[in-house]
Amino acid sequence: MGDRIFIKNLVLPCKVGLSERERRRKQDVIVDVEIFRDLREAGITDDISKTVSYSEVTREISKLVAGCESKLLESIAQNIASLLLEDSETRKVTVRVRKKKFGRNPLIGIEITRLQHG
């Protein structure tokens, strides 16, 4: 399936890092998501109920990340993927997370892909 919805460069504050000292203050992470699902019916009918609300997805991801305290970016990405896969119409998601402070070359971050029921 080639249809996908993407949200890129979502900058969100969260507590992340290996040490307690690093997790004391929130720091910005940059999140990109790709949501793979069949968008044909939404395109034909022009009906929002046949797709995903971008603003709702963005709001839910923001709420999740703001409330987490993780040692690893991998944990944040897994939690986001699990959230997105709660929608049974979503077949696959790809989530990228990187710390904003590593925004210069080389870019450092992680990317995971998860399948519905897999």
Task: Give the residue among 56, 52, 65 at the shortest CA–CA distance from 16.
Answer: 65
Q: Output the pLDDT for position 55.
A: 95
Q: Output the pLDDT for position 101.
A: 77
Q: Output the pLDDT for position 102.
A: 66
User: What parts of the chain have a pLDDT lower than 70?
Assistant: 1, 102-105, 118
Q: Return the ∠ at Cα 52 (arms to 7 and 27), rounded to 5°.
A: 35
Boundaries of domain holding 28? 4-115
pTM: 0.92
Q: Output the pLDDT for position 100.
A: 86
Q: How far, in Å, CA of 108 to CA of 91, rounded?
A: 27
Q: Output the pLDDT for position 63.
A: 97
* Structural domain count, the chain: 1
Q: Output the pLDDT for position 108.
A: 85
Q: How far, in Å, CA of 40 to CA of 65, rounded?
A: 31
Q: Output the pLDDT for position 103.
A: 61
Q: What is the CATH number of the domain that holds 50?
A: 3.30.1130.10
